[in-house]
Structure 1
Amino acid sequence: MSVNPFVIDVRSVPRRAGSMVEVDRTVAAPDRIGAQMVGIPAGADVHLDLRLESVTEGVLVSGTVDGPLDGQCGRCLDPIEDSVSVYLTELFAYPDSETDKTSDDEDVERIVDEEINLEQTIIDAIGTELPLTPVCTPDCPGLCQVCGVKLADAEPDHGHDVIDPRWAKLAAFKDDAE
């Protein structure tokens, strides 16, 4: 059985409101976090710098999560390497607290067996931070639509004489006339 590195034991956080414990650790991402085009690769180091604060209804987790990104440019398909940093704020409700009793399962996270699982919270936070179409540079021209050559590397006069298919039959008449 593998241990999820995003699970934190909260027994060290006293149940007195205002008590706080800091967690500063680096863990390996068990799976890719993000999208196919860009994300934190599996096995990459993810740094957690968090505060676990005891509140009346549970444990409030706040802090930053940082990790390296890799992926492909959405325009030219070149590899991209970058980093991502997100700020988390999430309440994990104590079992049998008012929040636990009055909230739907999807509305609030819960403490289970004195542990909190930050994995889905981190996945959601990073997913909303990532670009829908990552680019290697803001002005990346992409690929030629006709031949697929990278336009940043192409000659300045790169182009193709493309005949509109609606006029293609007329081009044959022009060739016959010449």
Structure 2
Amino acid sequence: MKASRIQSVAVVSMVVLCAIGPTVFLVAAAVFNPAKMPLRDLPGPLVGAIIIAVIVLAVLFGNSPPRAPAEEDPRRRLTRRAAEVNTAITEAVRVMGELAADLDGLQRSRAALEAEAARQQEYLELDRDEAAKVMALVHGNEAGKEKAQRRREIVIAVAGCVAGAAFAVAWDLMKTAWL
């Protein structure tokens, strides 16, 4: 182990002993001899032990200077960086392949959409022609219906007049025959 690692382990061990040692002693004293140390008096010393542990940690770790990173061997650094460059190039080639495949798919989709748009345009032109024919039939049919309706109305009016005249003649005949 490195010296700094050994120092860190020693510091943590001291803090643990400072915080846990008195706490265990106080709890044991309160549990096994409640006459000398009642349980209601236990929280004060426990808080004190925890405060002491925090102060020890702050003193030991608060004033330590920042550690300088260890120098890396130039060969290892060059080898590591070359491997990183190779990995980046490999990744770039893979991504370029994916992008080319995506672009190819998009171009095929665009061609299919253009073909569909042309087909829809043809349908639209056919629909316009058919719509014009249907409109001509509907309007022509409406004109025919209007003429037929007028004829029907004239026939009913003439029939009404003829029936009225026949009724009037029959009434006159009946009236003269009974008188």
Shared fold by TM > 0.5?
Answer: no
TM superposition score normalised by structure 1: 0.20
Q: Based on CA coordinates, which of the two structures has the bigger radius of gyration?
A: 2
Tell me which protein shows more helix as a share of its residues. Answer: 2
More strand by share: 1
TM-score, with structure 2 as normaliser:
0.20
